[in-house]
Structure 1
């Protein structure tokens, strides 16, 4: 009897040792998940507020005075014509969809903006890629009988607003040569995509 009991005890001990060895080998095998940090899965961080649709750095926006350089001056050999140019020096494309012609104010005070020439409206909204230029022709007074009898004034600068609620940006004339303008009969074209289009008016 003692011999049988001893044999059973040795057999049970051997089985337990084999099982422990197998479990240890499973956990210590090279390449297992415990030894490979790349296989661990961490929960993704919650998006910060406002990051669901981050702004597109190359997206189109409305043109603002801070994005543009303004130039204006009388056209040689063109009576009653003054050309306004705006160049986009920013790194983003912008457009004039909100206000498709410049709001020009001649003189001081709360004078109304010059009316636009409706026939000059382009078929599509003028947009400016970085470095591009848009144009608007200013007819400084009416021609023919409509322009007679109005004294007007000589100006060396005028105000340009890109939207109805924006404060006008003062634009000086190239060369500072004064130009005679009659605010009561002067008009302006819509923004044009080229100087050729603007010079047609």
Structure 2
């Protein structure tokens, strides 16, 4: 005898299927925000502090103050009138923050041959404290271009030279004011420490 499915039975079966589908969809929505057990997770690396100032902070010297860098400064150089064997180097802080030469208290000068060591400093010219430059202030260094008793028999005339503020820095090329060449003997030339005023620089 054939089995007859009544309308009531069909409605009950349809309701059961609908309830099952709803349960499956609801479970899927709750689990979508959670990774499956044992799955890999992307983890952002923990930031580390860098000694190379990658965070944009300016470099600081041993005294904790901002170190003067070439980007903050303007250089000028030229022979000193009525002062034989003397040349004056000036540096002005045109930035909006003070800086200091505590990390390297005298300029490292090179004339021509980069393989030669920078000019030695006149140790007696060291000021009581490392020179600091406020914005728009100027510091000075006097260069003795040759020993007075040696005359102009050694060395050569130069119209520019390299100035570095630290031992590892690439020298900044500074041209002489007026481009008038100056005779320099790198064997006997010397440079003072940075001086806070023109008067103290002229003493040398």
Q: Distance in 1 between matches of 2:177 and 2:151?
A: 27
1:133 to 138, 163, 166: 138
Deviations 1:28-87 (A, max 9, x none): xxxxxxxxxxxxxxxxxxxx998xxxx79xx94000000000000000100000000000
Matching residue of 1:178? 181
Matching residue of 1:88? 93
Instruction: Report 1:1-201 matches (<5 A).
Output: 60-144=65-149, 147-148=150-151, 150-201=153-204
Matching residue of 1:26? none
Compute the displacement of 1:151 (Å): 1.8
Residues 60 and 92 of structure 1 are in contact (CA less than 8 Å); yes or no, is this contact kept in structure 2?
no
Between the two proteins, the alignment pairs up a number of residues equal to 147
Compute the displacement of 1:173 (Å): 0.1
Q: Distance in 2 between matches of 1:49 and 1:104?
A: 36
Q: Distance in 1 between matches of 2:196 and 2:80?
A: 18
Q: Distance in 2 between matches of 1:154 and 1:49?
A: 50
Q: CA RMSD in A?
A: 2.1
Change (3 A) 1:81 1:148: closer
Deviations 1:106-163 (A, max 9, x none): 013311100000000000110000000000000000122xx25842100000000000
3-state secondary structure, aligned to 1:197: helix
Normalised to the residue count of structure 2, the TM-score between the two structures is 0.68
Gaps of 5+ in 2: 1-46, 50-56, 59-63
Moved over 3 A (4+): none
Residues 73 and 94 of structure 2 are in contact (CA less than 8 Å); yes or no, is this contact kept in structure 1?
yes
Normalised to the residue count of structure 1, the TM-score between the two structures is 0.69
Deviations 1:156-194 (A, max 9, x none): 000000000001000000000000000010000000000
